[in-house]
Structure 1
């Protein structure tokens, strides 16, 4: 990277409990390639209201928001885009001369990917997970016309609440059910995690599925995706989600939409960090 921030540089940041490097490398790579005087930095905070107030006070253009701040941020902004209002959760804040507008580009990315992959909304699915990202995915499915779904979650309260919000069923375990689309929105399969080698669904369920969607982005080929590809299933990967949601953040911050070749190069650069 050869970016050299100056007093005129437009600053964008992210707030997360555990800041990662993907966004830093993705955004800064595109800023450099497109000749934009922007700089992106990942941060964390113990005082969310003060951090959001700092966006206004310091003229920070944009802020990515990760767990555990996605819902708490909603009361701290001036306007909420439909993408965030749909799920009562945000992941992006844009500062327009002191007016803060919240978006959810996770939700936007999932909706775009379902359309891009031409997944039939009549496809029944099982979604494993009940956290903030599961909410974004479930609401994106609902708003894309998917009416037949199961939320699979051991936490009954959270699972039932998400199911009720979206009009789906809830089960603690999938057992012998084999829906045509399987969606993992848990940390199972995440590199470096306690369950890095585990499958989010059984071999029987994967073998019977038509579609497998894993929101875990690192590695790109999680155990679930690798098994699905070995069985010649259609897949949507977490890397596709993280790349597309980061792209939509980039466009919101800069007003510039890179070419697909530029995006692909930025994703490759970010992955190798």
Structure 2
């Protein structure tokens, strides 16, 4: 079984160097590495050319955004499973792939936990063993810890290039809910995700929420008629839980934790 690792980069030479080094240090042999660069001008292209013997395919040219770049990678990939490890993210150790390869054994989607790193602080993000529409409504297993069979893209289409942030989420939720793709959760962690992308800043979060709402209304209109009020209340509750005033009242024993 061949695994295709797809790395998308644009003007992040230092991040690309970290990712490539991490991939090339893997002691698992049955993988290919596809590099899609968006016409970087920071030396990324020269770095790619200097290391091209380690890539099954690479290109450096202008594109229409991250999902257009990811789609290029999908088209060129030859593996049974595709894995997106974008510029800056890396494997935890050299035997990460060899340790988890046995879990890639039939399911359409296989996902793990992930380390989230911000300003040097490492936090483990655990994903649920059983996926639900309620969970997928506002989250998804991170693509940096998720393997997807290439046949899903061949059968259901590639990433929606009209979306700026949530196209990978749209693909996963459609594959699972509309097409009943099979999945498996593995309670382990093998990759690091470094905060700093568009989806992790406040403006990006607003775009994400707007795009998710648009996708849900287009793809699941009848279901959303029933669930919109429920999800609104859940968002209010999540906001209250994060409120410092509410946390203080709980600490003082004036209200119960909820």
Q: Mark yes or no: TM-score above 0.5.
A: no
| Structure possessing the higher relative contact order (Cα contacts under 8 Å, 6 or more residues apart) | 2
Structure (1/2) with the larger helix percentage = 2
TM-score normalised to the size of structure 2?
0.31
